Structures are given as C-alpha cells and as structure tokens.
C-alpha cells in the first residue's frame, strides 16, 4: 500500500522505537503533524520555543540510552533550533532533528519561511540530509538514526520539503543499513592495548582522566572495575561526572579550570595520564604548554580526530571505550606484573596532602545564603540520587563541585558550547524520560530567563521539576572575571529589573518560593521535594560576592591554581 511522506515519517519513528518527540508545528510540517495526530504510538511534546525542543531532546538522550528526537518547521523554526543543535554537536549528544522545508519547487526562490537549513547547520551537525524524493525518505531516516547513535554520537538533521511529505510511495523500512563511507571503529588495536598496559603497569604516579565518552559509551561499570583493579586515582571532566562514583575514595574530584586542587596537582605531577573518552579541552588543560609536563599519555577514544588534536599522546587507542576497557581489564588480570605498591602508596600520600588543603571549603557561618550550601543540601536531601540539570555559569560549577554524582547519566549540562538556557528545557526531557525520578534544575537568575517560557510546557505536561535558582542578581561568572581581570568594572553584568520569580512561577501555574536565610534552605528543599506532583521554583537569594574556587586563571598551568 502506498503511504504519504508524512505517514512514512511517522511509521519510521515507530519502527525506530521512538516514543516521544519534542516539537513545534508550522506551515512546512503540517502534513507531518496531521499524521502524528492520527496515531498514538509517538507522543509529541509541544515546547514554547524551538531551542527548548532541542535542549529537551538532549536531556532525554543524555539521561537515557536512546537518541532524542525533535521536529520543527522551516525558516525560523530551523534557525531557532540551531543553538540547541550546536550544543548537541559540542557534547556529542545523539539527536535526530527533523526540519520542515519549503516545497522542492520553491527551494532557492526565497520563499516564505525558507532558509538553507542544510547549509546553516552543516558546521554544527555530525551529518545532515535534504530529502528531495519521498522514495528516499525511509532510508534517509534509517541512516540518520544510525549515524546519530553510532561511533562518536552527534546530532543529525533531516530537512524534509513539504511536497515530499504529501507525495506517496510504497513503504518499507530497512532492517539494517550499510554506508560504505561510514564505519566507526569498535575494538581497540591489540598491539596498542599491550603498549598501554606496559605503561600502566610501570607507572609510579598515574592518574586516570575520563570524560563524557565514558557516559556516552555506557562504560561506567567497566571504568569502575578498571580503576578499582589498579587502585589509581581518578578524575572526571565536567562531562564525565558520574562515570565513576564521586563518593569513592579513589575519586579526586573534577579537574580543569574549576576542578579540585588535588585533581589538577595530580595531573601536573603525574608520570602517566590515562585519558579515556576525554578530549583535552582548553578548560581542562589550562595553558597547553604547561600541561602534564612529566607524563606519558595513553588516550582511548572512539573518535580518531580527538587524538593528538590538542595534546600529542604517546599511545593512542581508537575504539569504543567500553570495549577497550574490558580488553584492558582482561590483559591486566592475565599479566604477571602488578602496579608498584610502594610507589602507589607514596603517590596517594602526596595526593592526600593536596586533598587536605580542602579546596572546596566555604564560609558556613555566613548570614547570607552560600550557593555551595544550597547544592550540598540538595545533594544530601536527594541522597545523591536525583537527576540534575544545570544552566551555564557559576551555579553550574558549584553543582559540578558539590553534587556528588555516583551514577552515570544523572548530571545533564551544557559543557562544550556553554549554552545559557539549557537547564530548564533539558530538565523537561529528563523528567519525561524518568517520570518518577526527582529532577532538579540548578540555575541562576540570568540563565533561567533565556528559556523561561518553558515553564508553560512544564505545566501542560505536569513535569514536577525542582528549579533551584541561585539568585545573586549578577551574571555571576561574568562578574567574577570582571572582579579578577577587569579591576572590578562590572560592565553590564548586573541583572537589574529582575522579575519576582516566586510570583512569576505562580503566574505560570507552579509553586514559587523565595528563600532568603541560610536557616531556611533545608526546610524549603524538603518541602519542595515533598510536592511530588508540582513544579517548584525555589528562588534562593544568595551571596552576591561569592566566587567559584579554586580556579586556574586563563594562561596558567594546572599547578597554578587560585585557591581562595
């Protein structure tokens, strides 16, 4: 039987097992919306702005092992989605984004709501497609899901002109897909693994440094086995938090610009760095000239282009991290050599001295609410088991430092692109994927306003997100840099004329709270957590002058941290 392109689209999603998509209708996708309306297998979540749709799909994908799916219209629908798509590209989030396009006969004519979506998105997608013939639609969708979810994941855009959704053809969904130009590596090279094992077992001051690749590659269990087998210290990047239990004694905290003193000092003094699913981002390395001066580097990554991009490595291993870790564990167990216990003991003694600096300490007797205290309290009251999304800035760093993630996929943030506005919509995706879980969005009064319209979506779909707004009346991270590096000239970083967030939340149909005293923090969070079926917006009025410490200033090395 012949189906229309719109019907084929819906059937393809069903075949892919997509239960939920995020979107916003418009002229070019009306046939598709009509087809969605006539079925009930694929639910549609109506956002209030296309950026929100993409971030929600990211939250869904990052907290599950499934790709996120979004559907937007042509022109402004597509351009509004770009920030989210670029965000997903930087953080390697598997997404399939469908964009409507003007009919093929009008492409290139500057038609109403026309943009060159394939052209605009090209630099910020893993791949994109323009479907010009309904006969190619099913195969293209199959390819899109395959490319988005395999190898190093990423967003794939499929641009579908309106006439293609009306034309008819026979439908059959390919069971498998083979692309001669795309064959991601799975297994690591045995010879390289052996070389790595030699370095690993000979190291005297080793550090395991892991990133988002461990989360995306579902390798947290293997990483934990590997790390415990060796007894080596482990640090996670911002994107890698939860890849190893943060409350474990071998965990030395996050590394990088706002990482712990012990993590950065360990990296600086290490004689071996075992990098797994991490990409030596500038926020991790600090000044690249001063990065890990004494270390040999082993780098495991599924993306060959990530290897030796910023830092020249000694033993590269291309492969899926889980597969490589399992192979390494097997090799280590079979190897008669063991890590040098005496050297390791001395190394841990040194690390414990750095740890004793207590670099994350803050004033616990302040009369003002300290943002760190709010997050620490949230962590305690949720027993470390909530899903936590964040926006971008100081609150994001505090969340990363003070919420100790013991499990993967629980920490959902915008690491690479640093997109303010990410927190609330991504929390929607997380909550929809995990309806019974506690989902907290840690944000600030500047970030939250970038996608605050999604409070309306939260009401429509009854999403009981707990919004933790750390309100310091400043774009905090901008203010901090202005204090440190611009002699306190706070150019345009003061958030004047703020709304009454409590009233605003209430106007959107939610519960609003304002918390102004440290003594009220615990009670407020407890009360919010009790309201299991309501979104609660907690507006914490925090200490304006608080800075994120420790810090590696731009251009400095990892051993040159500002502590307080």
Binding residues for other proteins (CB under 8 A):
118-119, 122-123, 126-127, 130, 147, 179-182, 303-305, 307-309, 312
Q: Which of 214, 258, 213, 264 is nearest to 235 (CA)?
A: 264
Of 155 and 384, the one with the shorter C-beta distance to other proteins is 155
At residue 164, φ and ψ (nearest 5 deg) are -65, -30
Shortest Å distance, C-beta 305 to other proteins: 4
Using DSSP bridges, classify how beta strands 2-4 and 168-170 pair: parallel, antiparallel or unpaired. antiparallel
* 119 versus 293: smaller Cβ distance to other proteins: 119
CB-neighbour burial class of residue 358 (10 A; exposed 0-12, middle 13-18, buried 19+): exposed
For the CB of residue 163, give the shortest distance to other proteins in the complex, in Å: 18
First to last CA, the chain: 70
Task: Tell the smallest beta-carbon distance from residue 279 to other proteins (Å).
Answer: 13
Smallest separation (angstroms) from other proteins to the CB of 306 = 9
Cα(94)–Cα(167) distance, rounded to whole angstroms? 29
Confirm whether 330 is a catalytic residue.
Answer: no
Residue 162 is a catalytic residue:
yes
What is the rounded CA–CA span in Å between residue 153 and residue 301? 12
Bridge-based pairing of strands 296-301 and 272-276 is parallel
Q: Which entry of 113, 192, 453, 506 is annotated as an active-site residue? A: 113
Return left, alpha or beta for 305; rule: phi > 0 is left, psi -120 to 50 is alpha, else beta.
Answer: alpha
> Is 112 part of the annotated catalytic residue set?
yes
> Does residue 250 sit in helix, strand or coil?
coil
Give me the least distance between CB of 444 and other proteins, in Å please: 31
Could you give the CA distance from residue 402 to residue 405 in angstroms, rounded to a whole number? Answer: 9
Distance CA 73, CA 55 (A): 16
Q: Which is nearer to other proteins, 306 or 426 (CB)?
A: 306
Q: Quick one: DSSP state of residue 492?
A: T
246-251-255 Cα angle (round to 5): 95
CB of 99 to other proteins, least distance (A): 15
Task: CB nearer to other proteins: give 123 or 488.
Answer: 123
CA–CA distance, 373 with 380 (Å, rounded to integer): 10
Cβ closer to other proteins: 49 or 126? 126
Kindly state the smallest distance separating residue 311's Cβ from other proteins, in Å: 11
Q: Give the nearest distance from C-beta 495 to other proteins in angstroms.
A: 34
Q: What is the DSSP string of 110-138?
A: --TT---HHHHHGGGSSEEEE--SGGGHH
Q: Tell me the pairing of strands 155-161 and 387-390.
A: unpaired
311 versus 475: smaller Cβ distance to other proteins: 311
Residue located via tokens 């999304």 = 389
By beta-carbon proximity to other proteins, the closer residue of 127 and 283 is 127
Q: Of 167, 160, 92, 89, which is closest to residue 121 (Cα–Cα)?
A: 89
Q: Which of 50, 376, 445, 546 is catalytic?
A: 50
* Distance, CA of 355 to chain centre: 27
What the block records as the tokens of 148 is 């988005």
- In the bound complex, what is the minimum distance in angstroms from residue 181's beta carbon to other proteins? 4
Q: Determine whether 175 is an active site residue.
A: no
Q: Which is nearer to other proteins, 137 or 265 (CB)?
A: 137
Q: How far apart are CA 3 and CA 10, in angstroms?
A: 11
Residues 6 or more apart in contact with residue 381 via CB below 8 angstroms: 522, 525, 526, 529
The residue from 143, 162, 296, 326 that is catalytic is 162
Active-site residue, 50 included: yes
H helices of 203-258, in order, are: 212-216, 220-230
C-beta of 305 vs 564, nearer to other proteins: 305
Tell me the catalytic residues.
50, 112-113, 162, 477
């Amino acid at each position: 039987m012949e189906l229309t392109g719109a019907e084929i689209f819906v059937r393809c999603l069903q075949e892919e097992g997509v239960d939920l998509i995020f979107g916003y209708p418009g002229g070019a996708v009306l046939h598709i919306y009509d087809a969605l309306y006539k079925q009930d297998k694929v639910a549609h979540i109506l956002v209030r702005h296309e950026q929100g749709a993409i971030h929600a799909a990211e939250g869904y994908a990052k907290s599950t092992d499934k790709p996120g799916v979004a559907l937007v219209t042509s022109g402004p629908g597509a351009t509004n989605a770009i920030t989210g798509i670029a965000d997903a590209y930087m953080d390697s989030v598997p997404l399939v984004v469908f964009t409507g396009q003007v009919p093929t006969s009008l492409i290139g004519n500057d038609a109403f709501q026309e943009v060159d979506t394939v052209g605009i998105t090209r630099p910020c997608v893993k791949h994109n497609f323009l479907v010009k013939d309904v006969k190619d639609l099913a195969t293209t969708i199959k390819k899109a899901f395959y490319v988005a979810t395999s190898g190093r994941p990423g967003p794939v855009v499929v641009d579908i002109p309106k006439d293609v959704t009306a034309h008819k053809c026979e439908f059959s969904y390919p069971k498998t897909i083979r692309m001669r130009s795309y064959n991601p590596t799975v297994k690591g090279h045995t010879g390289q693994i052996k070389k790595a094992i030699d370095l690993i077992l000979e190291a005297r001051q080793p550090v395991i440094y892991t990133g988002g690749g461990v989360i995306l590659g579902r390798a947290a269990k293997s990483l934990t086995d590997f790390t415990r087998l060796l007894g080596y210290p482990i640090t996670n990047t911002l994107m890698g938090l939860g890849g190893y239990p943060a409350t474990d004694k071998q965990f030395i905290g996050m590394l990088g610009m706002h990482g712990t003193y012990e993590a950065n000092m360990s990296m600086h003094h290490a004689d071996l760095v075992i990098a797994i699913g991490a990409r030596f981002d500038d926020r991790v390395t600090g000044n690249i000239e001063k990065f890990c001066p004494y270390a040999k580097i082993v780098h495991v990554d599924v993306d060959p282009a990530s290897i030796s991009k910023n830092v020249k490595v000694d033993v590269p291993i291309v492969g899926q991290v889980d597969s490589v870790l399992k192979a390494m564990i097997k090799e280590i167990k079979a190897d008669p050599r063991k890590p040098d216990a005496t050297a390791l003991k001395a190394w841990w003694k040194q690390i414990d001295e750095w740890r004793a600096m207590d670099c994350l300490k803050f004033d616990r007797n302040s009369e003002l609410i300290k943002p760190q205290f709010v997050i620490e309290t949230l962590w305690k009251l949720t027993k470390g088991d909530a899903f936590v999304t964040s926006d971008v800035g100081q609150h994001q760093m505090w969340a990363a430092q003070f919420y100790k993630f013991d499990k993967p996929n629980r920490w959902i943030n915008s690491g690479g692109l640093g997109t303010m506005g990410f927190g609330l919509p991504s929390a929607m995706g997380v909550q929809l994927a995990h309806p019974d879980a506690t989902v907290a969005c840690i944000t600030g009064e500047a970030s939250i306003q970038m996608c605050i319209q999604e409070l309306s979506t939260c009401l429509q779909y009854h999403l009981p997100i707990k919004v933790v707004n750390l309100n310091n009346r400043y774009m905090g991270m901008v203010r901090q840099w202005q204090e440190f590096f611009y002699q306190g000239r706070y150019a345009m970083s003061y958030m004047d004329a703020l709304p009454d967030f409590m009233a605003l939340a209430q106007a959107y149909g939610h519960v609003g709270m304002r918390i102004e005293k440290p003594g009220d923090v615990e009670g407020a969070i407890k009360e919010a957590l009790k309201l299991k079926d309501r979104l609660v917006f907690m507006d914490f009025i925090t200490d304006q002058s608080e800075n994120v410490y420790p810090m590696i200033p731009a251009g400095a090395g990892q051993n040159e941290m500002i502590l307080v």
